[in-house]
């Protein structure tokens, strides 16, 4: 009970320390570093609001007197006009000027920026450093930066260049991961200087509010980590009580916690420049410079040159990473031939994975993959079982209305833990086919045990500061190793992009073949409907509707061109008895056989159709009444001599009517029908002509 109580107290105290640390107002310290001086004016540059306490050392004017001076008396009208012009140009980065001020006409590096309702001017004394070589350094780097073949090589060259130029003891590249832990990926150290290459630093070393400052001002300079900060006078602006935001400048005082951190690390001076990721919306890392034994102050020109080197490097880094990404994307492109295949099975995920799965596993360095489309699954390599895959897809699809790319390097730490099977990591990409029934490409990676080297034990220490608990900096940066389990190798941004492209290609492949199948089925249905519209479904000959159209067309042609035609209407004798005695199935067979026999007796120009039930018509083109009767007799004889399975002998009665000049479909059919009934009256199995 006591142990649990103590644990609960510790967790509550830790939570309070984290909140206090995150809320530390590092951008409004109310003080500056002693490497320069500061004057705060109203926005119109007509009144002095605050000054740094060391202003007398820099300009020879006591702070109390400076607060009563006019801006022109402090800086001179010429400099004020130049500052006004610089501010009016609305540069995102504070503009830098050179001015000579004070009784000794000391040279100063001057930057100005707006901060709320005020204008801040920072003054840094210039030394007699020879900076003539700095321009040639930048020109040489502009040519050099194009030579490295990989991002890692470029960063290695950058840290070496900066250390040689500046004389810092250690220069390193510090990269953030997705949880804001940092790792040192490139480093250059002087002789006998310990390094951190390959070491990790916990996210708490650079808390969120500090990372946010690098989004506003990509450079942070700490020339002397042990020098006391210089306060602003008066402590509160007499007109605007809002604390002065110094984040755009270079002189902002350093947080006491960070100073303690640097002291524990043995760092006397530090310079950091931000490296932003490709989208420029997230801090990707830092170029960090350390001087160890004694403070190491760079001239403003040297400091700006280091910043320029980084700014030149970042676009080339993006280019190299983009080139690498494009190479991977090209490798995973689904071949054009697949998109033109017409085989129905190409919409089957199992077949697609069977054909290309091994290739994709190799390209993505994955241990397993699954392609899921509707209710179908295609699997390859080390993957969860089929039921678990269904659960994973259900969870992914429920994340939001429009499924998005999702990935994890440790499924054990996610809601998918119960279904992960042998996998530790997952990259899940939706196929843009339809949202009603989402389809997914899933790439799995198994556990990759890693021994992670930390620069000191990444444990949070709590200290008291006044009434609050705060996170205390680590005292030791000695290497501490941690064995990482249940994690896979990280999914790189290039792999995520390439997987998205692959999913789009697969979606196009599947969708194109589904469209092909739908078109084929639609064509089949249309053909069936066409046959139903024109043909008798039992016998395959023309139906009554089609025959009526043909008769009407033939009558019109006969009238126009004066040619002969005739209509034969025949009826199967005693057909009701056939159905009653042998069944309707046998009756259907009789009609099919009847059509087959008659079709052999007709000319190519003659048309045979089913009029209804057991009645059939023959439209005889170019035939006189006599010729039509002879044709009818041949048909009657052929039927009478034929053998019908299960029924035996079948006969027909046929009525014949030749087309007249004033005939219509109705009159021609009526005369043929009357003739057919006359044939039945005379005893059936005979032909009777209406004319």
Nearest to 509 by CA among 344, 325, 327: 344
CA distance 667 to 497: 76
Residue 248 domain flag: no
Identify the three-state secondary structure at position 278.
Answer: coil
Question: Residue 130: CB partners within 8 Å, gap ≥ 6?
Answer: none
- 400 token code pair: 């939001």
Q: What is the pLDDT of residue 281?
A: 61
Q: Evaluate whether 498 touches 48 at the Cβ level (below 8 Å).
A: no
Examine the domain organization and report whether 285 and 409 are in the same domain.
no
> What tokens were used for 590?
């009789």
SS3 390: helix
- Our CA angle for 554, 555, 559, nearest 5°, is 115
Query: Within 13 Å and on the Cβ side, how many CA atoms surround 267?
Result: 25
Q: Tell me the per-residue pLDDT of 213-256, one tens digit each, with 9 for 90 and over.
A: 998 999 999 999 999 999 999 999 999 999 999 999 999 999 98
Query: Does 381 fall in a domain?
Result: yes
pLDDT digit string (tens) for 320-379? 887 777 777 776 665 445 544 544 445 678 888 888 888 889 889 999 999 988 878 889
281, two tokens: 């919306």
Please state, in angstroms and as integers, the Cα–Cα distance from residue 454 to each residue in 173, 262, 473, 572, following that order.
15, 17, 15, 99
Q: How many whole angstroms separate alpha carbon 268 and alpha carbon 432? A: 55
What is the chain's alpha carbon radius of gyration, rounded to the nearest angstrom?
46
What b/e string do you get for 509-544 counting C-beta neighbours within 10 Å, with b at 16 or more? Answer: bbbbbbebeeeeeeeeeeeeeeeeeebbeebebbbe
Q: How far is CA 303 from the centre of its chain?
A: 39
Domain match, 274 and 181 both: yes
Number of domains in the chain: 4
Half-sphere exposure of residue 564: CA atoms within 13 angstroms, side-chain side = 11
> Is 553 part of a structural domain of the chain?
yes
Residue ending a domain, among 125, 160, 192, is 125
- Asked if the peptide bond before residue 234 counts as cis, ω within 30 degrees of 0, the response is yes
* Coil vs helix vs strand at 649: coil
> Does any domain span residue 340?
yes
| Low-confidence stretches of the chain (pLDDT beneath 50) | 1-10, 14, 17-18, 335-336, 339-340, 342-345
Helix (H) or strand (E) holding 84: helix 77-88
Both 668 and 559 in a single domain? yes
Gap between the Cα atoms of 658 and 92, Å rounded: 99
Tell me, yes or no, whether 507 and 612 share the same domain. no
- Residue that the structure tokens 């809320």 belong to: 23
- Distances, alpha carbon 117 to alpha carbons 43, 74, 84, 247, 253, in Å: 6, 20, 15, 15, 21
Selection from 278, 286, 282, 364 nearest residue 321 by Cα: 278
Rounded to whole angstroms, how far apart are CA atoms 154 and 145?
A: 7
Asked if 151 and 321 count as a contact pair (C-beta separation under 8 A), the reply is yes
Contacts of 528 (CB under 8 A, 6+ apart): none
Tell whether 670 and 643 lie within a shared domain.
Answer: yes
Contact 566, 659 (CB under 8 A): yes
Please check whether residues 359 and 384 belong to one and the same domain: yes
Q: How many helices (H) and strands (E) does the chain have?
A: 19, 27
660 occurs within a structural domain? yes
**CATH number of the domain enclosing 320:** 3.30.450.40
- Given a contact cutoff of 8 angstroms between Cβ atoms, the answer to whether 476 and 264 are in contact is yes
- Least Cα distance to 52 among 183, 244, 329 occurs for 244
Q: Give, in degrees to the nearest 5, the angle at Cα 82 between 134 and 108.
A: 50
The range of the structural domain enclosing residue 580 comes to 536-689
Domain boundary, last residue among 125, 148, 169: 125
Strands (E), 477-564: 479-484
- Interstrand relation of 450-455 and 423-431 (parallel, antiparallel or unpaired): unpaired
Residue 505's pLDDT is 80
Are residues 347 and 315 part of one domain?
no
Supply the CATH number for residue 549's domain: 3.30.70.270
Note the Cα 624 to chain centre separation in Å.
77
**pLDDT at residue 335, rounded to an integer:** 44
pLDDT of residue 6: 46
Global confidence as pTM: 0.66
Residues β-bridged to residue 445: 425
Q: Which residues, listed in sequence order, are joined to residue 610 by a DSSP beta bridge?
A: 616
Q: How many CB atoms lie within 10 A of CB 674?
A: 14
Residue 618's beta-bridge partner residues?
568, 608
Q: What is the DSSP letter of 400?
A: S
Between strands 170-176 and 118-125, the pairing is unpaired
Nearest CA-CA partner of 381 in 352, 361, 351: 361
Q: Could you tell me if 659 and 555 are in contact, meaning their C-beta atoms sit under 8 angstroms apart?
A: yes
Cβ neighbours, 10 Å, residue 374 = 15
- Which of the listed residues 326, 352, 377 is the one where a domain comes to its end? 326
My answer on whether 155 and 292 are in the same domain is: yes
487 close to 450: Cβ distance less than 8 angstroms:
yes
Strand ranges, E, within 2-102: 31-32, 37-42, 48-52, 95-101
The answer to whether 604 and 542 have CB atoms below 8 angstroms apart is no
Q: Do 567 and 652 sit in the same domain of this protein?
A: yes
Distances (CA, A) of 367 to 392, 418, 419: 17, 19, 16
Within a domain: residue 230? no
The three-class DSSP label of residue 273 is strand
Q: What pLDDT is recorded for position 673?
A: 94
Structural domain includes residue 81: yes
Angle subtended at Cα 103 by Cα 101 and Cα 106, rounded to the nearest 5 degrees: 45
- Beta strands 607-612; 48-52: pairing state: unpaired
- Residues 179, 320: one domain? yes
pLDDT at 10: 42
Residues near 363 by beta carbon (within 8 Å), at least 6 away in sequence: 328, 331, 332, 498
> Rounded CA gap, 195 and 301, in Å?
27
| The total number of residues written for the chain in this structure | 691
Residue 261: inside a domain = no
Task: Indicate whether 121 and 142 sit together in one domain.
Answer: no
The answer to whether the beta carbons of residues 570 and 615 sit under 8 Å apart is: yes
Helix (H) or strand (E) holding 257, with range, is helix 256-265
Residue 232 backbone dihedrals phi, psi, to 5 degrees:
-90, 140
The sign of the torsion formed by the CA atoms of 407, 413, 419, 422 equals: positive
Could you tell me if 377 and 492 lie in one domain? yes
């Amino acid at each position: 009970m006591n142990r649990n109580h103590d644990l609960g107290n510790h967790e509550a105290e830790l939570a309070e320390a984290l909140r206090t640390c995150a809320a530390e107002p590092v951008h409004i310290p109310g003080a500056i570093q002693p490497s320069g001086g500061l004057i705060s004016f109203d926005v119109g540059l007509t009144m002095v609001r605050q000054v740094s306490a060391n202003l007398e050392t820099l300009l020879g004017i006591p702070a109390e007197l400076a607060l009563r001076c006019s801006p022109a008396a402090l800086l001179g009208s010429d400099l004020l006009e130049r500052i006004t012009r610089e501010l009016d140009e609305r540069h995102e980065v504070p503009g830098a000027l050179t001015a000579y001020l004070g009784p000794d006409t000391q040279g100063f590096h001057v930057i100005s920026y707006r901060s709320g309702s005020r204008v801040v001017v920072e003054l840094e004394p210039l030394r007699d450093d020879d900076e003539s070589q700095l321009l040639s350094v930048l020109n040489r780097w502009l040519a050099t930066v194009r030579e490295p073949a990989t991002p890692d090589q470029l960063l290695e060259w950058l840290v070496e260049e900066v250390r040689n130029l500046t004389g810092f003891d250690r220069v390193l590249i510090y990269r953030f991961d997705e949880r804001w832990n940092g790792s040192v990926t490139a480093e250059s150290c002087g002789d006998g200087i310990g390094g951190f290459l390959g070491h990790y630093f916990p996210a708490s070393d650079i808390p969120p509010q500090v990372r946010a400052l690098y989004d506003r001002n990509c450079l942070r300079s700490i020339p002397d980590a042990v020098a006391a900060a210089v306060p602003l006078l008066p402590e509160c602006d007499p007109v605007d009580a809002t604390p002065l935001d110094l984040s755009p400048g270079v002189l902002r005082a350093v947080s006491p916690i960070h100073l303690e951190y640097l002291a524990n690390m043995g760092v006397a001076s530090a310079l950091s420049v931000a490296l932003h990721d490709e989208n420029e919306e997230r801090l990707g890392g830092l170029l960090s410079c350390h001087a160890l034994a004694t403070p190491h102050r760079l001239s403003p020109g040297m400091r700006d040159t280091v910043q320029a080197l980084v700014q030149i490097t970042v676009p080339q880094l993006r280019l190299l990473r983009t080139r690498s990404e494009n190479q991977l994307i090209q490798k995973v492109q689904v071949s054009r031939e697949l998109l033109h295949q017409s085989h129905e099975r190409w919409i089957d995920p199992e077949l697609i994975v069977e054909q290309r799965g091994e290739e994709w596993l190799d390209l993505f360095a994955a241990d397993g993959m699954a392609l899921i489309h509707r209710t179908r699954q295609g699997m390859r390599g080390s993957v969860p079982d089929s039921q678990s895959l269904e659960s994973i897809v259900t969870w992914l699809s429920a994340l939001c209305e429009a499924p998005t790319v999702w990935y994890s390097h440790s499924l054990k730490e996610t809601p998918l833990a119960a279904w992960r099977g042998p996998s530790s990591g997952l990259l899940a990409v939706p196929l843009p086919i339809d949202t009603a029934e989402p389809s997914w490409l899933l790439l799995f990676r198994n556990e990759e045990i890693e021994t992670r080297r930390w620069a000191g034990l990444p444990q949070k220490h709590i200290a008291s500061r006044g009434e609050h608990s705060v996170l205390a900096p680590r005292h030791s940066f000695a290497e501490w190793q941690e064995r990482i389990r249940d994690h896979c190798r990280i999914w790189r941004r290039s792999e995520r992009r390439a997987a998205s492209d692959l999913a789009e290609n697969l979606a196009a492949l599947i969708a194109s073949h589904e469209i092909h199948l739908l078109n084929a089925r639609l064509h089949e249905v249309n053909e069936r409907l066409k046959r139903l519209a024109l043909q008798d479904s039992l016998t395959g000959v023309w139906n009554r509707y089609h025959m009526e159209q043909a008769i009407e067309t033939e009558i019109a042609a006969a009238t126009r061109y004066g040619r002969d035609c005739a209509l034969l209407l025949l009826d199967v004798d005693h057909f009701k008895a056939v159905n009653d005695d042998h069944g309707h199935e046998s009756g259907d067979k009789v009609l099919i056989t009847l059509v087959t026999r008659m079709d052999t007796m007709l000319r190519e120009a003659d048309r045979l159709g089913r009029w209804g039930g057991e009645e059939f018509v023959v439209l005889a083109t170019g035939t006189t009444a006599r010729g039509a009767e002879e044709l009818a007799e041949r048909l009657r004889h052929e039927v009478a001599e034929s053998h019908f399975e299960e029924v035996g002998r079948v006969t027909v009665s046929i009525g014949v009517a030749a087309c007249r000049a004033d005939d219509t479909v109705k009159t021609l059919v009526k005369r043929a029908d009357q003739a057919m009934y006359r044939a039945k009256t005379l005893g059936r199995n005979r032909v009777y002509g209406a004319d």
